[in-house]
């Protein structure tokens, strides 16, 4: 099954980046970095790149894919110095990339996305039938199920990921860069992905794998390179590495990977959902008859494969999605059909899943984003009309200090911050008002170890203070590490509920996969 994939493109035996430097305004994103991937005896390699947010991983790989030009340094392919001027050139050379932020056109179908930028076999006419056929073939071979005729915006994140991989396979990339491909996948999906990657490695593909999850890196890679602040810390064989060692290299200090969860007395009931239903964006039932209780001082984790209603659940509770049935009670008050602003006043806080889209206004400053909800409240506004910048900046400065947010200042547009730091701003904002109930959706997706550790500690602190927390995550480790109780969602329903202690992980996985 493997040989048919190699369609005669020059195989890349070896790729070597030497002394690479890349500056951005005010940032040395990549500083004198050497990096290489090589095949041996027809077998490829998985070379993992590790590093905190902003370490320069994506930038280094974008240089390889022709999205940026290096300021210094050389790239050699099979010993030949090569200038990669644009993605077009990279693609021609057999380099593919799956981006951290997916590079898909939402309004186009899967097949159209894959056909994009490729020569059509029918000349000036699209050959979607052929693309479709080939996609079916590939998706069968690699167990990557997607319907080629569905527009991409209708796909859940995990499915979009599959489209990206299919596209790379379709284009027969000899060297494939995967920038945080697992950030959005469930454990089962990660296993599937690793099977694909392993198969590709057998076929002689070279793979660069970026992830924040150390156990994944240790599982799949042959070699590991750690970056910190744009510089290479070390490159080592995966066999000799340990999680603790890697974490320390990345962060530059010892890290705690397991948390204490001191017992907290469960308080009164804060949130009650009774028979709640809602539609998904596609107009299909997204949430069906969901019942849920949340008590003060507990973290309830919601596990499930992406696209099983977690998104709708969070939005419904936050007042951002109309319900089609059932009641929601917050602190004893019926809040069904109440607006987001109203719920917020009653002490609900929400960390949204898509932080760049829902959580912040990109062009606003850090300070302005800090008062997204509370801009009309004292002390941030006088008389509800005039903004008090002194107070806003002071509050933002406090948050920056308390949450160790890396930013040039409070008046920096938030889009200039790294993802982890933006997430910290959101967390700081939501926690600053001492919420009674906190909905945290994917709070550490794409966030580095240091920041993840920090966010987890904060959530546990909140729990200790008596906040009721609903944690929605596709990262099972996170759920297991933080939760007091665990819910499992499948096809819009809550299909299982269990206390954290003594949980059977295999049983949990089966529930997530829809087993009765």
Min separation Cβ 474 and Mg ion, Å: 9
Strands (E), 101-237: 175-179, 206-210, 223-228, 231-237
Min separation Cβ 403 and ligand ATP, Å: 17
Among candidates 299, 328, 303, which has minimal Cα distance to 315?
Answer: 328
Min separation Cβ 133 and other proteins, Å: 17
In the complex with ligand ATP, which residue's Cβ is closer, 235 or 331? 235
Task: Answer yes or no: are the C-beta atoms of 191 and 215 closer than 8 Å.
Answer: no
310 binds, among Mg ion, other proteins, ligand ATP, none (CB under 5 to 8 A by kind): ligand ATP
CA pseudo-torsion sign 342, 343, 346, 349: negative
In the complex with ligand ATP, which residue's Cβ is closer, 155 or 330? 155
Min separation Cβ 123 and other proteins, Å: 9
CB count, 10 Å around CB of 191?
11
Can you tell me which of 100, 221, 369, 418 binds Mg ion, judged by CB under 5 A? 100
In the complex with ligand ATP, which residue's Cβ is closer, 49 or 432? 49
Binding mask 52-81 for Mg ion (x = CB under 5 A): ------x-----------------------
Q: What tokens does 13 get?
A: 């035996």
Q: Which residue is nearest to Mg ion (CB)?
A: 58
- How far apart are the C-alpha atoms of 36 and 15, rounded to whole Å? 5
202 binds, among other proteins, ligand ATP, Mg ion, none (CB under 5 to 8 A by kind): none
Q: What tokens does 193 get?
A: 């992905």
337 binds, among other proteins, ligand ATP, Mg ion, none (CB under 5 to 8 A by kind): none
| Distances in whole angstroms, Cα of residue 34 to Cα of each of 60, 73, 77, 81 | 10, 9, 14, 14
In the complex with ligand ATP, which residue's Cβ is closer, 29 or 459? 29
Min separation Cβ 1 and other proteins, Å: 26
445 makes contact with Mg ion (CB under 5 A): no
Give per-residue burial for 130-150: e unless 16+ CB within 10 Å, then b: ebbebbeebbeebebebebee
Min separation Cβ 90 and other proteins, Å: 8
Min separation Cβ 399 and ligand ATP, Å: 20
- How far apart are the C-alpha atoms of 114 and 220, rounded to whole Å? 26
In the complex with ligand ATP, which residue's Cβ is closer, 99 or 373? 99
As a dihedral over the C-alpha atoms of residue 128, residue 131, residue 132, residue 135, rounded to 10 degrees, the angle is -160
56 binds, among Mg ion, ligand ATP, other proteins, none (CB under 5 to 8 A by kind): ligand ATP
76 binds, among ligand ATP, Mg ion, other proteins, none (CB under 5 to 8 A by kind): none
Q: What tokens does 371 get?
A: 């008062």
Q: Residues in the site for ligand ATP, rule: CB under 6 A?
A: 24-25, 27, 29, 51, 53-59, 100, 106, 153, 156-157, 280-281, 306-312, 353, 418-419, 448, 474
What does residue 373 show for φ and ψ, rounded to 5 degrees? -85, -40
- 8-state DSSP, 5: G
Among candidates 235, 236, 233, which has minimal Cα distance to 251?
Answer: 233
Min separation Cβ 172 and ligand ATP, Å: 26
Min separation Cβ 280 and ligand ATP, Å: 5
Min separation Cβ 480 and other proteins, Å: 29
Binding mask 287-326 for Mg ion (x = CB under 5 A): ------------------------x---------------
Q: How many residues does the chain have?
A: 516
45 binds, among Mg ion, ligand ATP, other proteins, none (CB under 5 to 8 A by kind): none
Min separation Cβ 159 and ligand ATP, Å: 8
107 binds, among Mg ion, ligand ATP, other proteins, none (CB under 5 to 8 A by kind): other proteins
Q: What tokens does 505 get?
A: 């992980």
Which residues ranging from 157 to 176 are in contact with Mg ion (CB under 5 A)? none
119 binds, among other proteins, ligand ATP, Mg ion, none (CB under 5 to 8 A by kind): other proteins
Which residues on neighbouring strands pair with residue 35, listed in sequence order? 17
Task: Answer yes or no: are the C-beta atoms of 456 and 443 closer than 8 Å.
Answer: no
Which residues ranging from 19 to 58 are in contact with Mg ion (CB under 5 A)? 58
In the complex with ligand ATP, which residue's Cβ is closer, 359 or 419? 419
Helices 505-512 and 187-202: crossing angle, nearest 10°?
90
Q: Please give the order of strands across the beta sheet that includes 14-24.
A: 27-38, 14-24, 72-77, 80-82
In the complex with other proteins, which residue's Cβ is closer, 348 or 488? 348
Q: Please give the order of strands across the beta sheet that includes 333-334.
A: 285-295, 269-279, 323-330, 333-334
- How far apart are the C-alpha atoms of 251 and 227, rounded to whole Å? 10
- 8-state DSSP, 107: T
Positions touching Mg ion (CB under 5 A) are 58, 100, 311
């Amino acid at each position: 099954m493997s040989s048919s994939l190699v369609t005669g493109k020059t195989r890349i035996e070896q790729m070597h980046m030497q002394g690479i430097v890349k500056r951005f305004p005010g940032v040395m994103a990549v500083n004198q970095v050497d990096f290489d991937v090589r095949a041996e005896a027809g077998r490829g390699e998985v070379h993992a790149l590790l590093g905190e947010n902003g370490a320069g991983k994506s930038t280094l790989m974008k240089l390889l894919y022709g999205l940026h030009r290096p300021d210094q340094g050389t790239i050699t392919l099979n010993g030949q110095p090569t200038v990669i001027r644009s993605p077009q050139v990279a693609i021609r050379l057999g380099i593919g990339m799956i981006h951290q932020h997916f590079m898909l056109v939402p309004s186009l179908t899967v097949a159209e996305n894959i056909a994009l930028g490729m020569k059509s076999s029918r000349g000036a006419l699209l050959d979607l039938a052929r693309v479709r056929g080939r996609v079916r073939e590939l998706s069968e071979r690699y167990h990557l199920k997607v319907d080629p005729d569905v527009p991409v915006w209708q796909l859940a994140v995990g499915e979009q990921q599959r489209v990206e991989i299919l596209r790379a396979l379709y284009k027969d990339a000899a060297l494939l860069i995967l920038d945080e491909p697992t950030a959005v996948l469930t454990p089962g999906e990660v296993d599937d992905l690793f099977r694909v990657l392993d198969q590709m490695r057998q076929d002689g593909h070279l793979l660069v794998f970026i992830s924040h999850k150390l156990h994944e890196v240790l599982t799949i890679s042959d070699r590991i390179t750690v970056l910190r602040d744009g510089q290479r810390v070390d490159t080592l064989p995966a066999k000799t590495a340990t999680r603790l060692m890697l974490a320390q290299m990345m962060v530059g200090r010892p890290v705690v990977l397991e948390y204490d969860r001191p017992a907290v007395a469960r308080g009164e009931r804060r949130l009650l959902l009774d028979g709640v239903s809602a539609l998904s964006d596609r107009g299909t039932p997204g949430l069906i008859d969901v019942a849920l209780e949340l008590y003060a001082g507990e973290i309830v984790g919601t596990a499930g494969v992406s696209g099983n209603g977690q998104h709708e659940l969070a939005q419904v509770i936050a007042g951002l999605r109309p319900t089609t049935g059932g009641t929601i009670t917050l602190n004893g008050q019926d809040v069904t059909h109440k607006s987001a602003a109203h719920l917020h006043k009653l002490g609900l806080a929400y960390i949204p899943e898509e932080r760049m889209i829902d959580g912040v206004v990109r062009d606003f400053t850090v300070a302005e984003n800090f008062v997204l909800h509370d801009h009309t409240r004292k002390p941030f506004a006088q008389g509800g009309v005039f903004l008090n910048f002194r107070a806003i900046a002071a509050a933002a400065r406090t948050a920056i200090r308390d949450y160790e947010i890396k930013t040039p200042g409070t008046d920096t547009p938030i889009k200039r911050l790294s993802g982890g730091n933006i997430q910290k701003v959101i967390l700081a904002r939501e926690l600053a008002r001492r919420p009674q109930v906190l909905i945290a959706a994917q709070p550490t997706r794409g966030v580095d170890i240091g920041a993840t550790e920090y966010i987890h500690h904060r959530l546990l602190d909140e729990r200790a203070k008596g906040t009721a927390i609903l944690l929605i995550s596709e990262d099972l480790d996170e759920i297991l590490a933080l939760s007091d109780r665990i819910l499992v969602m499948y096809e819009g329903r809550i299909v299982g509920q269990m206390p954290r202690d003594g949980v059977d992980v295999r049983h949990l996985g089966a529930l997530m996969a829809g087993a009765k």
